[in-house]
A and B are shown apart, each in its own frame.
Chain A
Amino acid sequence: MSFSRKVAQLVLLEARLEWKNKQSITALLIYSLASIFVTYLAFQQTIDLTTWNSLFWLIMLFASTNAIAKSFLQDSKGLQLYYYSMLSPKQLILAKIIYNLLLLSGLSLVNFFIFQLIFPIEINEIAQYLLSILLGSIGLSTVLTMVAGIVSKANNNAALLAILGFPLLFPLLSIIIQCSMNAINGFDWMVNQQLFIVLISLNLITILLSYLLFPYLWRE
């Protein structure tokens, strides 16, 4: 079977496993709903644009850490052995990244709509904002999936994912918050172009790094 077909099949398998056991995806939705509601209660609807944007990304950060924490945890020993014999580690990490990317993009869109519902604000460049959400999800899913792979080899300590992952996410988050803020303020494409290019290249670097480094984790 060709490389890409195997990856696609693995992504489908992950999705099917998730669908079979709906409680984890429901838990994820309720987690972000609850955290959005907490911010709503805390801020009492008086919220300016910068706070709106920062809160959105903070909630995304915590929700995605929660979502990805289990991506290697839930694989049983038997399933891991099966993967080990059937797949190359490069296929596995790509499949996990793609699956988490789909999950996070969905989650961020849901979060975005709920956020808009509770704290309605006007976003001047909606296309740019959606693009920054997409690029942000790619970055979050790649870095966190790789770190989850590292953590899964280190006694699966849940707090370790945040400790190891957050510092690696600082560059991504600082650009993405700038970028989405520009979109809210309705800056022209020309202004944001440079930031988007930096984001895309940062994402490419992280994907490449995970692709190259994951085999060393797996072989262990």
Chain B
Amino acid sequence: MDSFYKNKIARAWWWKIIAIVCLVYTCYYGFIGEVPAMVVLHETIRNLYFHVTMWMAMMLLMLVNAIYSIKYLSSLNRYHDIVAEESGKMAMVFAAAGLITGMVWANYTWGAPWTNDPQLNGTAATILMYAAYFILRNAIPDENKKAKIASVYAIFAFVMMFVFIMVIPKMYNSLHPGKGGNPGFNKYDLDSNMRMVFYPAVIGWCLLGTWLMSLNVRIRRIKEITEEN
């Protein structure tokens, strides 16, 4: 178990520098940089750098949660469960951040913070699923039992979440830009100015999420050591 805490990549500093540089760059050029003038969206298109990229970081963390749950079931190594739990927590933080940025944006673009949009419903369901995951964790006192049962639920929830977010919205028209005939980001992704900010933003938020998650995992380790002694 100890070997994982000595994980070289988690302790390396270079990718944390990249995260900081990318995010500073995103925040600067996200507000200052040129964006194409579009109907409906106008300047709110800048939300692409924050809202969409936070969702991507959330999806990454949920994927980590699912992968480490599978790993836990096959190895029964407690470290895997700790990573799964912490990535789930971070995913909730990014879900909240993505939701808030999205709601502020929707309030000005669609005229209401919440609409009956398949993607919004999917998001609400996802947040409820992961909230249920933590309720389940808290309901079981025994550590090993908790880890096992929570892993099973996490895998089940991830597949359902994937269906709800990725498959079902494709079947209905969405209000989201680029769907159901709305003016979208898709063609403007080709706009090289926006692309220059969008890709670093994705990298930056994903790395930030991973960084925070790995810090939490290490804090758990320190707590364990202090409790042992």
Contacts and interface: CB of A to CB of B under 8 A. Distances in A.
Interface of A: 146-147, 150, 153-155, 157, 160, 163-164, 166-168, 170-171, 174-175, 194-195, 198, 202, 205-206, 209-210, 213, 216-217, 220
Contact of A198 (B132, B159, B167): B167
A150 B150 CA distance: 9
State which size class the interface on B falls in: 20 to 34
Contact of B155 (A157, A171, A209): A209
A153 B163 contact: no
A217 B152 contact: yes
B185 interface: no
Contacts of B151: 216
Contacts of B156: 146, 168, 209-210, 213
Contacts of B153: 147, 150, 164
**Chain B facing A: main interface SS:** helix
15 contacts: A146-B156, A150-B152, A153-B149, A167-B128, A167-B132, A168-B160, A170-B121, A170-B160, A171-B164, A195-B171, A209-B156, A209-B159, A216-B151, A217-B149, A220-B144
Given A154-B136, A198-B171, A216 B125 contact: no
Contacts of A153: 140, 145, 149
A2 to B, nearest CB: 27
Contacts of B157: 167-168
B27 interface: no
B168 interface: yes
Contacts of B171: 194-195, 198
B136 A150 contact: yes
Interface of B: 73, 118, 121, 125-126, 128-129, 132, 135-136, 139-140, 144-145, 148-149, 151-153, 155-157, 159-160, 163-164, 167-168, 171
A167 B125 CA distance: 5
A125 to B, nearest CB: 20
Nearest to B149: A153
A157 B160 contact: no
Nearest to A160: B139
A157 to B, nearest CB: 6
B144 to A, nearest CB: 8
A164 B132 contact: yes
Nearest to A165: B132
Contacts of B148: 216-217, 220
A5 B144 CA distance: 34
Contacts of A155: 139-140
A216 B136 contact: no
A168 to B, nearest CB: 5
B156 to A, nearest CB: 6
Nearest to A210: B156
A167 B154 CA distance: 12
A95 B132 CA distance: 27
A163 B135 contact: yes
A206 B126 CA distance: 17
Contacts of B136: 150, 154, 160, 164
B140 A213 contact: no
B73 A216 contact: yes
Contacts of B164: 170-171
